[in-house]
Amino acid sequence: MNEQLRAISELNRVIHEPGRLMIVALLGAAKECDFLYLQHETEMNKGNLSSHLARLEEAGYVEIEKTYRGKVPQTLLRLTRAGRAAFGEYRKGLKAAF
């Protein structure tokens, strides 16, 4: 296997999926976001976005906080320290592949 293919095959599969990559990239650029912002930016439906967030939370990459703004429920999302580190490593691996 050539080096480029090897580098691609070693990318973090949790982050590499396109939907999750969009989420991690958006969260990486901000301290935190709310669910509706992510839904708007990624153009995913609620179920799809929730599924991706659950997978990222399971991996320890995203922290999900359910709160209220006044009487309105709000879901806040942020990358964990492990999530930021994993995204940084993913980016390094991607650069190495190309």
Cα–Cα distances (Å) from 81 to 4, 23, 39, 44, 86, in that order, read 28, 15, 23, 25, 9
Per-residue pLDDT at 1: 57
How many domains does the chain divide into?
1
Domain ranges, residue 40: 3-97
| pLDDT for res 28 | 95
CATH number of the CATH domain containing 62: 1.10.10.10
- Report the pLDDT value the prediction gives residue 8, as an integer from 0 to 100: 79
- Provide the pLDDT for residue 30: 92
- What are the average pLDDT values for consecutive 10-residue runs of the chain, which has 98 residues? 77 94 96 95 97 98 96 96 96 87
- How far apart are alpha carbons 38 and 8 in whole angstroms? 27
pTM given for the model: 0.90
Tell me what pLDDT residue 3 has.
79
Query: How far, rounded to the nearest angstrom, does the alpha carbon of residue 22 sit from its chain's CA centroid?
Result: 6
Check residue 84 and give its pLDDT: 97
